[in-house]
Amino acid sequence: MTHQGGADVSLVGERPKVLLVSTFSWTTAGRLAVALDEAGFVVDAVGPSNSIIHGLDAVRRGHRLSLTRPLRSIARAIEAGNPDLVIPSDDPSRQALNRLYDLVDPSTRRGAVTRACLARSLGPPETYDEIYSRTRVMEIAAGRGLCAPVTTEVARLDDAVAWQDRVGGLAVMKTDGSWGGRDVEIVGCEDDVAAAWHRLSRPPSVVRIVKRLLVDRSPWPLRDRLTGGKPVVSIQAYVAGRPANVAVACLDGEVLAAVTAEVVVSTRPTGPATVLRVIDNPEMTETAASLVKALRLTGLCGFDFVLEAETGRAHLVELNPRATPTAHLLTADGADPLRSLAAALRRTAAPRRRTPYADGLVALFPQELQRDPSSEYLATAHHDVPANAEDFVARAGARPDALRALVSSAVHRSRPAWHSAEVTVLPP
């Protein structure tokens, strides 16, 4: 198998090696590390000093992400582990890998090896910019005849107001590269648009920079502020309906397995899911496969959809070009994305397993436990606690993501669940 970057990475009979890159101390990186290990990968990881990945039995070697030289940390981890694939677990990590590819010197042996590793892990370098342009991804989707709302990049407030006046109704304003429902605003009038524009178009605030440094050990907001980077804002036609998503394992533009799910409970209307229902939705899987092929994606990625309330049609709303929190689940027919990826690298048949989800319901661990320790779904849904990772379970279950709990525990305790089944039009 000749993979992206011209390197042969067929691994008949061997355990493929991955480097998991994490910018935050979130438990989702640890959950993915455990699942990758169970799927047959040798797992190295790089993350902040307070990341849960450090010290996990599932991780062979953990590398600390430097606050002052994060790209060097990642480059050294690649050199030390010689991974077959590098897997970013969050958007800043994926963006850092894109930057690293641009910065290394391909005329040196070290630079050439690093570039080859990144190219075979992330897909063709010429696609790196467009996959983080919300507008460009939607243009590609429209060009392939896929169901996606009109999306336009806006450089000025006047452009956003004019778009909203022309299209009418509710709209969604977002920034490129945002994640987890952050930097997403639902707007319905000129005042809403103006307020959203002023919040979204500004560089990271000092408060946000300090929080990211202290809580997440993340250097990226500070680097963005120092380099003068400004957010790219887009506006998208709003679709009333239920959020859903697809988690994909792919190789060289071919989907190997895809977990399709609709959101049952999330932390907020535009926030991450904590309870999902795994479903079979051909329109969603076909849309994901079409874009994976168009962008020649490789590794793990995800797609967000809205299932339109009136028609049930699946509207693609964004691409997440990195691992998503449901990548380790099984599909409705028992396919395993992570084992499918490992099998493709080994050139062996991908195994199928019996899906253990009653009625398709899955409560993600530790997300739903942290949202509401008394949630009914912890008993009625399949609670996604890994059976063979006691160290991860003990550490993840004992902390709502480290210092973040001290910063916002009062807010989280009083925050109600958002049940997608009860809402068709999200409140602005």
Extents of the domains making up the chain: 2-126, 150-237, 241-422
Asked if the peptide bond before residue 366 counts as cis, ω within 30 degrees of 0, the response is yes
CB 319 within 8 A of CB 325: no
CATH class of 2-126: alpha beta
Structure tokens belonging to residue 426: 């999200």
Beta pairing, strands 314-320 & 299-308:
antiparallel
What is the C-alpha separation between 411 and 404, in angstroms, rounded?
A: 11
Secondary structure (DSSP) of 340-369: HHHHHHHT-PPPB-----GGGEEEETTHHH
Question: Which is nearest to 405 in space by CA: 216, 181, 140, 134?
Answer: 216
- Residue range 82-128, pLDDT digits in tens: 999 999 999 999 999 999 999 999 999 999 999 999 999 999 999 99
For residue 339, the one-letter residue type is: R
pLDDT for residue 24: 85
CB 218 within 8 A of CB 24: yes
Q: The whole model's pTM is what?
A: 0.87
Structure tokens belonging to residue 263: 């959101």
Question: Which is nearest to 186 in space by CA: 256, 249, 149, 238?
Answer: 238
Can you give the length of the chain in residues?
A: 428
What is the C-alpha separation between 268 and 228, in angstroms, rounded?
A: 31
What is the C-alpha separation between 150 and 135, in angstroms, rounded?
A: 9
Q: Which residues of the chain have pLDDT under 50?
A: 1-8, 400-428
Give the H/E segment covering residue 227. Answer: helix 220-227
pLDDT for residue 220: 65
Q: Does domain 241-422 have CATH number 3.80.30.20?
A: no
What is the C-alpha separation between 88 and 407, in angstroms, rounded?
A: 26
What is the C-alpha separation between 422 and 36, in angstroms, rounded?
A: 35
pLDDT for residue 40: 95
Helices then strands (H, E): number in the chain?
15, 18
Residue 129 CB coordination number (10 Å): 11
Q: How far is CA 405 from the centre of its chain?
A: 22
CATH class of 150-237: alpha beta
Asked if the peptide bond before residue 400 counts as cis, ω within 30 degrees of 0, the response is no
Q: How far is CA 80 from the centre of its chain?
A: 25
pLDDT for residue 204: 67
Burial class (CB in 10 A: 0-12, 13-18, 19+), 8: exposed
Beta pairing, strands 17-21 & 42-47:
parallel
Q: How far is CA 372 from the centre of its chain?
A: 23
What is the C-alpha separation between 201 and 276, in angstroms, rounded?
A: 32
- The angle, 0 to 180 degrees and rounded to 10, between the axes of the packed helices 190-200 and 157-167 is 140
Nearest 5°: the CA angle 47, 34, 256 is 100
3-class SS of residue 329: coil
pLDDT for residue 13: 61
CB 97 within 8 A of CB 73: no
Residue 360 CB coordination number (10 Å): 18
What is the C-alpha separation between 417 and 269, in angstroms, rounded?
A: 9
Phi and psi angles of residue 234, each rounded to the nearest 5 degrees, phi first: -125, 160
CB 301 within 8 A of CB 122: no
Cα–Cα separations (whole angstroms), residue 286 to 19, 86, 145, 234, 378? 29, 26, 11, 25, 32
